[in-house]
């Protein structure tokens, strides 16, 4: 008896089926969906609120920027010496090392395999007003190579190498006028 009461109570809780009610339930459901989608667009009051709030932040910020900038006149059309806005970037030790590396690649005619800056010895020499750059590297081919020490003086004024000298691992000078690269590479193989 208890089991049948349970089922009877479920049957009683079912809503009545009214003819034509199915169609109106669908219409109600569609109306609720459309109402939900239309609510994702802001109302006029919400748009007005956000515009006024944004301008309440942007206008004072712009005015304070102009005030603290001191009312400076920026004329981007003419670049005279007195109205330059930025200073030139100074020539530094890293720039000097790059200039020396490029010069070494040119002097060794593509035979310079790799270079690294010896930062313990690279410095700016105030008395001569030059950067003294020292590079360690290797010259030759990948199967036959010799270590090389390269010394450059780089002028910060001209940004060019004013002195260039290269020495092999036994401190013999390289790149003299009497020896070409091929003869030098052949001499490396005869030392072994």
Q: Would you place residue 152 in the very low, low, confident or very high pLDDT band (cuts 50, 70, 90)? A: very high
Q: How far apart are CA 147 and CA 114, in angstroms?
A: 10
Look at residue 74 and tell me whether its pLDDT is greater than 60: no
Token look-up 């020896």 returns 179
pLDDT the model gives residue 165: 92
**Contact assessment for residue 137 and residue 114, using Cβ atoms and an 8 Å cutoff:** yes
**Contact assessment for residue 154 and residue 133, using Cβ atoms and an 8 Å cutoff:** yes
Look at residue 178 and tell me whether its pLDDT is greater than 50: no
Query: Regarding predicted confidence, which is higher, 32 or 93?
Result: 93
Look at residue 84 and tell me whether its pLDDT is greater than 90: no
Longest dimension (CA), the chain: 121
Query: Regarding predicted confidence, which is higher, 136 or 76?
Result: 136
Look at residue 124 and tell me whether its pLDDT is greater than 90: yes
Q: How far apart are CA 192 and CA 181, in angstroms?
A: 18
- Where b means 16+ CB within 10 Å and e means fewer, 23-48 reads eeeeeeeeeeeeeeeeeeeeeeeeee
**Contact assessment for residue 179 and residue 166, using Cβ atoms and an 8 Å cutoff:** no
Look at residue 69 and tell me whether its pLDDT is greater than 80: no
Query: Regarding predicted confidence, which is higher, 80 or 48?
Result: 48
pLDDT the model gives residue 103: 92
| Domain spans in the chain, listed from the N-terminal domain onward | 19-87, 93-191
Token look-up 């942007």 returns 58
Query: Regarding predicted confidence, which is higher, 11 or 121?
Result: 121
CA distances in angstroms from 113 to 121, 149, 168, 169, 180, listed in the order given: 21, 13, 14, 15, 17
Look at residue 95 and tell me whether its pLDDT is greater than 90: yes
User: What is the mean pLDDT of the segment spanning 143-169?
Assistant: 91
């Amino acid at each position: 008896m208890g089991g049948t009461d349970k089922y009877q109570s479920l049957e009683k809780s079912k809503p009545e089926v009214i003819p034509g009610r199915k169609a109106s339930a669908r219409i109600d459901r569609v109306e609720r969906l459309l109402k939900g989608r239309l609510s994702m667009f802001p109302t006029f009051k919400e748009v007005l609120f956000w515009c006024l709030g944004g301008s309440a932040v942007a206008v004072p910020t712009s005015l304070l920027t102009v005030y603290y900038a001191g009312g400076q006149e920026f004329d981007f059309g003419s670049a005279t010496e007195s109205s330059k806005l930025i200073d030139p970037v100074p020539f530094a030790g890293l720039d000097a090392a790059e200039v020396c590396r490029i010069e070494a690649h040119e002097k060794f005619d593509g035979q310079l395999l790799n270079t690294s800056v010896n930062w313990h010895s690279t410095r700016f020499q105030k008395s001569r007003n030059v950067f003294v750059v020292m590079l360690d590297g290797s010259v030759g081919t990948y199967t036959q190579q010799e270590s090389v020490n390269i010394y450059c003086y780089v002028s910060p004024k001209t940004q060019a190498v004013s002195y260039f000298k290269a020495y092999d691992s036994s401190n013999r000078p390289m790149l003299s006028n009497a020896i070409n690269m091929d003869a030098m590479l052949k001499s490396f193989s005869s030392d072994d």
